[in-house]
């Protein structure tokens, strides 16, 4: 696996970005790329962590995919800054510099990263190949109501987040009700003992999407941790989803 550190990317100048490529990668637009999005307080350094991002990136590149990882400015709750950063990384991965497939990109994220991935997909369905969330925040109201998380949400929007003002572009549940995810292959991997994201919120989101393209998977008792993503069942499911969506 090749590992490239990128800085001063246009549109995400302050971000630390890692791009992982297969050892024999060819920049000819024939293979898809995927962007991985991190959770609350997740630094770009998790890209080197054996208990978080690294095994996932290793499996994806071994299967022939390009992988982009960024902290997305850290703690940006589906605001325009987060959307711009994802789009900048998508543009870079699909540019001649990397040469990934240019029509659509895959997205995956843990917790807050799931929120950002799903919000981007809902705002850009024609650019989205497929998406996966690991213990994803799919209802922004949960973050707003959390004593611990609310300050990050408020900072992301320069004031209070409200459903009326921001829900249509930043709340996956609202987007699901509006039909924004129709036709996008989606998997949600949840933990049976997650103390942060209740299973009821996942069920509510799945029901709102109301499509056979969207499924949920109980990955086991991993709490609210990257282990819900970094386990063989979840990695195999991600690879299978990518293979089917890319064919």
Exposure letters 206-226 (e unless 16+ CB within 10 A, then b): bebbebeebebbebbebebbb
> What mean pLDDT comes out for the span 58-64?
97
The residue ranges of DSSP E strands in the chain, in sequence order, are 2-6, 17-21, 33-37, 66-70, 105-110, 128-134, 186-191, 214-220
> What mean pLDDT comes out for the span 188-196?
95
Instruction: State pTM to two decimals.
Output: 0.96
Angle at 165 between CA 107 and CA 70, to 5 degrees: 25
Task: Give the domain ranges of the chain.
Answer: 2-242
**Two tokens, residue 85:** 């950063």
Distance CA 194, CA 181 (A): 24
| CATH number of this structure's domain 2-242 | 3.40.50.1820
> What mean pLDDT comes out for the span 48-54?
89
> What mean pLDDT comes out for the span 84-88?
95
Lowest mean pLDDT among 42-46, 102-106, 132-136: 42-46
Torsion of CA 94, 100, 104, 108, to 10 degrees: -100
């Amino acid at each position: 696996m090749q590992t490239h550190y990128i800085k001063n990317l246009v549109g995400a100048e302050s971000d630390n970005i890692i791009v992982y490529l297969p050892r024999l990668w060819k920049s000819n637009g024939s293979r898809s790329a995927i962007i991985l999005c991190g959770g609350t307080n997740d630094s770009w350094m998790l890209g080197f962590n054996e208990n978080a991002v690294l095994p996932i990136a290793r499996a994806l590149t071994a299967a022939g995919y390009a992988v982009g990882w960024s902290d997305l400015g850290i703690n940006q709750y589906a605001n325009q800054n987060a959307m711009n950063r994802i789009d900048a990384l998508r543009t870079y991965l699909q540019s001649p510099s990397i040469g990934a497939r240019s029509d659509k990109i895959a997205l995956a994220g843990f917790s807050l990263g799931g929120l950002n991935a799903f919000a981007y997909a809902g705002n850009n369905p024609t650019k989205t190949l497929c998406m996966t969330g690991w213990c994803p925040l799919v209802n922004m109201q949960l973050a707003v109501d959390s004593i611990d998380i609310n300050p990050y949400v408020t900072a992301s929007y320069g004031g209070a987040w409200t459903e009326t003002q921001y829900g249509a572009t930043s709340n996956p549940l609202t987007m699901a009700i509006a039909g924004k995810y129709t036709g996008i292959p989606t998997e949600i991997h949840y933990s049976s003992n997650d103390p942060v994201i209740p299973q009821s919120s996942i069920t509510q989101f799945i029901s709102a999407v109301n499509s056979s393209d969207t499924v949920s998977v109980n990955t086991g008792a991993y709490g609210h941790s990257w282990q819900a993503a970094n386990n063989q069942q979840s990695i195999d499911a991600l690879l299978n989803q990518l293979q089917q969506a890319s064919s």
